[in-house]
Amino acid sequence: DFAALEPHIDAQTMQIHHGKHHAAYVNNLNAALEKHPELQGKSAVELISNLAALPEGIRTAVRNNGGGHVNHTMFWEIMGPGKGGEPTGAIADALKGAFGSFDSFREQMNKGGVGRFGSGWVWLVNAGGTLQIESTANQDSPIMEGKHPILGIDVWEHAYYLKYQNRRPDYLVAWWHTINWDAVNARLKK
Ligand code: MN
């Protein structure tokens, strides 16, 4: 239901974000792999885990569109209607341990999202057993650097512009009302 995240994220944004933007990443990734049947059996995560191993002619296309597919697949999974609130389960303890408190963690994530110039993402990653906040440009994924994204927030204008226009900070504040901590806990465990 495209309206499921109202009023925090509007239905039209979700419709275009999923139906046009994410769809374009999938279509463009498939097009890039068309002449490379040996790569078609690999998952998108496998493909972006080792970009250097790819033929040079499709490396950028896989980076942008494979990254776009993997990032958005995560994004839909970690949001839900009637969610938000304080973290529960193992992630609550992990965030307290790494950042002092959930409020401090959220503040640092929002700061990272606002500070990303242009298009990109802000992430909570597991980097060799340590939880860290980082941001990436475009559709780059922490997976490309050997890190494991626990959660990420899309700060491309296409994620918020229809409702929030230039007010990325307001979108970030609203976004936390959609976070599905059960899904985040599942990713942490994995
Ligand atoms: Mn997006």
CA of 181 to the centre of ligand 1 (A): 20
% of the chain beyond a pLDDT of 90: 100
pLDDT of residue 177: 98
Q: Which residues contact 56 (CB under 8 A, 6 or more apart)?
A: none
Nearest C-alpha neighbor of 109 from the set 150, 167, 66, 49: 150
DSSP at 154 = E
pLDDT of residue 122: 98
How many Cα atoms occupy the beta-carbon half-sphere of 155 within 13 Å? 29
pLDDT of residue 8: 98
pLDDT of residue 140: 98
CA of 49 to the centre of ligand 1 (A): 20
Sorting pLDDT into bands at 50, 70 and 90, what band is 72? very high
Average pLDDT, the chain: 98
pLDDT of residue 188: 97
Nearest C-alpha neighbor of 153 from the set 142, 166, 165, 162: 142
CA of 4 to the centre of ligand 1 (A): 17
pLDDT of residue 89: 96
CA of 118 to the centre of ligand 1 (A): 13
Q: Which helix (H) or strand (E) covers residue 106, if one does?
A: helix 102-115
Phi and psi torsions of 101, nearest 5°:
-160, 165
CA of 67 to the centre of ligand 1 (A): 11
Phi and psi torsions of 117, nearest 5°:
-75, 130
Q: What is the pLDDT of residues 138-181, one digit of tens each?
A: 999 999 999 999 999 999 999 999 999 999 999 999 999 999 99
Rg (CA), the chain: 16
| Long-range contact pairs involving 32-37 (C-beta distance under 8 Å, separation at least 24) | 32/58, 32/61, 32/62, 32/65, 33/58, 33/62
CA of 154 to the centre of ligand 1 (A): 6
Q: What is the pLDDT of residues 7-40, one digit of tens each?
A: 999 999 999 999 999 999 999 999 999 999 999 9
CA of 155 to the centre of ligand 1 (A): 7
Nearest C-alpha neighbor of 66 from the set 79, 84, 53, 78: 53
Q: Evaluate if pTM is beyond 0.85.
A: yes
CA of 22 to the centre of ligand 1 (A): 7
CA of 188 to the centre of ligand 1 (A): 22
CA of 17 to the centre of ligand 1 (A): 6
Q: Letter for the amino acid at 119?
A: S
